[in-house]
C-alpha cells in the first residue's frame, strides 16, 4: 500500500539520520563568543565523530557538566597528553618550545599548567582554550578535559554562508588532513568520499524530514531580511512563504528585561545615532552574552560620546566609545585607539564587564568613583538609562 511505503521510507530516513548523527557526523551550533572571531555565536558547524586522533589546534565539542547542569562547549586543543604547557608574554610554549598561534588576536595571560596540579597534561586528557581568551571559560578554570568527554571534532562550517568551508587550520589536501600512520592514500581518499557522500545524503534527508513539518497556523521564528535580528511570525499562512531560519514551534526567547533579542535591538537602535547608528544588535547580543546590562552599557556610551546626537571625534577617528585610556594611542593622547568600530564596542563592553560588573559594580552610582572624575556622571548615565527604557 502507498501509505505503508511512505511510512517505511520515513522510518528508514529517520533511522539513517539517527545513526549518522550518533556515530559519524552531526551538526552543532556555536553558543556564545568564547571562540570569536574564528567562530561566531550561532554559527552552524559539522562535527566529525569517527577520528579520535586529536591534534593540537583541533576545534572540539566537549560534554561539560557543572553543578548538575550539562552543556556542550566548543574549544581549541592546545596541549596534548604528556606535554608541559605555558604562556609567557602572550606566547605559547610547549615543552619550553615556542609555538605560534596565528589564529588569535587577543592576549593570553601568563599561565603554567603546573597550577592545575600536574606538570604535564595527564594521559587521555587535553588542555583546551577558547580563541577569545579574555572571555573564554576553559581549562584555565575547569581543568584538563578527558578524552571520553570530547564529542567530536569540528571540521566544516555550514552557516553563515560567508564562512562556508573547512574549519581552521585549512589543510592543503585531504591526504594531509586524513593521513596517519598505517593508512594508505587510496584509503584516505575513499574515506573522504564516503564521508562526503554520507554528508550529502544526510543533508538531503534532513530537508525531506523538515519540509513537511510546517503546517498552517504553526508558530515559528523567522530572521528579518533587513537586520540580523529575529522576528516572530504568529502563524504560517502559506508554506511557500517560509524562507529563513526556524527555531521551533511556539518558541519565543527573551534575553533581557522581558524582551527578545530583536526587541532589545530595536530599543537600543532608537538611542544610537551618528557613527553608532545601526549598532543596536551588536550591543544587545554581545552584552547579553557576557551577562552585562545593555541599558547600562549604551547609557555610558551616550554619556561619554554624545552619540545620542553626534559622536565625538574620539569615536569617529579612533573607535573609542567609552573614553577608555591605554595603548595604542589615539592621535598621541592618553586615550586608546581601536582598529574598527566593532572592536571598540566589544572592547568597551569587555572592560565594563570584567573591571566593574563582574566585581559587583553594577550601577552608575557604584561605577562613578572609579570610572569618571565628575560626581554628576552617574546622574547623566541614569538619565540615559531611563530614556532607553522608555523608548
The SS3 call for residue 323 is: coil
| pLDDT (average), residues 326-346 | 88
pLDDT at res. 24: 67
Per-residue pLDDT, averaged over 160-176, amounts to 59
Number of other residues whose CB lies within 10 A of the CB of residue 50: 13
Residue 188 pLDDT exceeds 80: no
Q: Go through the domains of the chain in sequence order and give each one's CATH number.
A: 2-208 (2.10.109.10), 220-252 (no CATH), 256-390 (1.10.530.10)
What grid cell was written down for 312? Answer: 565625538
| Digit-coded pLDDT (tens) for 98-125 | 999 888 877 888 889 988 888 999 999 9
Query: How does pLDDT run across 262-299, given as a tens digit for each residue?
Result: 889 889 989 998 889 889 989 998 999 888 999 999 99
The three-state secondary structure class of 268 is: helix
How far is it, in rounded angstroms, from Cα 117 to Cα 111?
13
Q: Tens digits of per-residue pLDDT, 8-62?
A: 666 766 766 666 666 667 888 888 888 888 888 888 888 888 888 899 999 999 9
Considering the entire predicted model, what is its pTM?
0.46
What end-to-end distance do the CA atoms of the chain give, in Å? 61
Stretch 140-149: mean pLDDT: 92
Confirm if 297 and 307 have CB atoms less than 8 A apart: no
If we measure between CA atoms, which residue out of 324, 319, 354, 355 comes closest to residue 339? 319
The catalytic site residues sit at 34, 75
Query: What is the grid cell recorded at 334?
Result: 592618553
Amino acid at each position: 500500500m502507498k501509505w505503508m511505503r511512505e511510512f517505511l521510507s520515513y522510518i528508514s530516513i529517520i533511522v539513517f539520520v539517527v545513526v549518522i548523527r550518533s556515530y559519524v557526523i552531526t551538526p552543532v551550533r556555536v553558543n556564545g563568543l568564547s571562540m570569536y572571531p574564528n567562530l561566531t555565536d550561532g554559527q552552524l558547524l559539522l562535527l566529525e565523530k569517527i577520528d579520535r586522533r586529536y591534534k593540537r589546534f583541533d576545534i572540539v565539542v566537549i560534554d561539560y557538566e557543572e553543578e548538575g547542569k550539562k552543556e556542550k562547549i566548543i574549544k581549541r586543543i592546545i596541549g596534548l597528553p604528556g606535554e608541559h604547557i605555558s604562556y609567557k608574554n602572550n606566547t605559547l610554549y610547549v615543552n619550553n618550545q615556542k609555538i605560534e598561534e596565528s589564529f588569535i588576536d587577543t592576549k593570553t595571560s601568563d599561565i603554567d599548567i603546573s597550577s592545575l596540579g600536574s606538570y604535564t597534561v595527564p594521559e587521555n586528557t587535553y588542555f583546551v582554550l577558547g580563541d577569545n581568551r579574555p572571555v573564554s571559560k576553559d581549562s584555565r578554570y575547569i581543568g584538563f578535559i578527558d578524552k571520553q568527554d570530547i564529542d567530536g571534532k569540528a571540521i566544516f562550517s555550514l552557516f553563515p554562508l560567508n564562512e562556508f568551508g573547512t574549519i581552521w587550520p585549512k589543510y592543503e589536501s585531504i591526504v594531509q588532513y586524513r593521513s596517519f600512520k598505517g593508512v594508505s592514500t587510496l584509503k584516505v581518499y575513499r574515506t573522504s568520499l564516503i564521508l562526503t557522500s554520507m554528508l550529502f545524503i544526510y543533508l538531503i534527508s534532513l530537508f525531506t524530514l523538515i519540509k513537511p513539518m510546517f503546517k498552517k497556523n504553526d508558530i515559528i521564528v523567522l530572521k528579518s531580511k533587513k537586520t540580523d535580528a529575529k522576528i516572530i511570525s504568529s502563524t504560517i499562512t502559506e508554506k511557500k512563504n517560509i524562507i529563513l531560519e526556524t527555531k521551533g514551534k511556539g518558541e519565543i526567547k527573551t534575553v533581557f528585561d522581558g524582551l527578545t533579542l530583536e526587541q532589545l535591538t530595536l530599543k537600543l537602535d532608537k538611542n544610537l545615532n551618528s557613527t553608532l547608528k545601526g549598532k543596536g544588535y551588536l550591543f544587545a547580543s554581545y552584552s547579553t552574552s557576557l551577562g552585562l546590562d545593555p541599558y547600562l552599557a549604551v547609557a555610558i556610551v551616550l554619556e561619554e560620546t554624545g552619540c545620542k546626537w553626534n559622536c565625538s571625534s574620539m569615536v569617529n577617528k579612533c573607535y573609542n566609545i567609552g573614553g577608555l585610556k591605554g595603548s595604542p594611542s589615539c592621535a598621541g593622547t592618553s586615550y586608546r585607539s581601536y582598529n574598527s568600530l566593532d572592536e571598540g564596542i566589544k572592547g568597551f563592553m569587555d572592560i565594563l564587564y570584567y573591571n566593574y560588573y563582574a566585581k559587583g559594580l553594577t550601577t552608575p552610582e557604584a561605577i562613578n568613583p572609579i570610572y569618571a572624575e565628575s560626581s554628576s556622571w552617574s546622574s547623566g548615565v541614569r538619565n540615559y538609562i531611563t530614556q532607553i527604557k522608555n523608548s
